[in-house]
Amino acid sequence: MDKHIAPVELEKAVRLINHGPTVLVSASYNGTDDVMAAAWACALDFTPPKLTVVIDKIAKTRELLERSGYFAIQIPNLSQLALTWAVGSQSLHQVPDKLQRSHVELFRIAGQPVPLVAGCSAWLICRLIPEAHNQQVYDLFIGEVTGAWADSRVFSDGHWTFENADARWKSLHHVAGGHFYTIGDPVRP
């Protein structure tokens, strides 16, 4: 594993998504891996850490996470803007080599059930908490975060350090149609 990747305490794991970044969702089942982008992911609880993510019925990633019971939420950065857009605008159903075309490199952390996207700023592995009504009616999935890691060059001591990192580490915040903003400057009340 890359020497910059460090575990994040579970009680601080939701800080990785608290500022509302667009995320990548990955899942794997029976030898098939998929990765998609999602702007609609959100923290749900601190302890144990939980989150929500909205995943359309057309996404292959959805089928994989429903079958395996696990998924990963990861925080892409400015250096992955093209990758994020590419995995968010193609479906593995129509484009079987979507991951290669999108230049996605997957890696695994020993003992963990989900492949992760190399080069992200942070990764949260989640166990699906099945909620059939939410999944069917709202496409809304709930996960309990069972492990979290971040790149120490942009997250350390429980905080993002965007202001001290190279600009390529900035998180992405999608509005619509490929119109993204990066995260900006720190402010304190």
Contacts to a copy of itself by CB under 8 A: 12, 15, 18-22, 39-45, 50, 52, 54, 78, 81-82, 84-86, 133-134, 138-140, 142, 158-160, 162, 170, 172-176, 178-189
Query: Residue 29 or 40: which CB sits closer to a copy of itself?
Result: 40
d(CA 152, CA 154): 5
DSSP conformational letter for 137:
I
Nearest approach in angstroms of CB 181 to a copy of itself is 5
Q: Amino acid identity, residue 63?
A: E
Question: Between 108 and 159, whose beta carbon lies closer to a copy of itself?
Answer: 159
Residue positions counted in the chain:
189
d(CA 55, CA 71) in angstroms, rounded, equals: 12
Taking the complex as a whole, the smallest distance from the CB of residue 183 to a copy of itself amounts, in Å, to 5
CB of 158 to a copy of itself, least distance (A): 7
Q: Which of 137, 142, 154 is nearest to 8 (CA)?
A: 154
Least gap, CB of 67 to a copy of itself (angstroms)? 24
Cβ neighbours of residue 118 closer than 8 Å, sequence gap 6 or more = 2, 105, 106, 107
Closer residue to a copy of itself (CB): 66 or 139:
139
Please, what is the minimum distance in Å from the beta carbon of residue 114 to a copy of itself?
Answer: 22
Pick the closer one to a copy of itself by CB: 96 or 186: 186
18 versus 100: smaller Cβ distance to a copy of itself: 18
- C-alpha R_g of the chain: 15
Contacts of 75 (CB under 8 A, 6+ apart): 16, 17, 21, 23, 24, 120, 121, 122, 123, 171
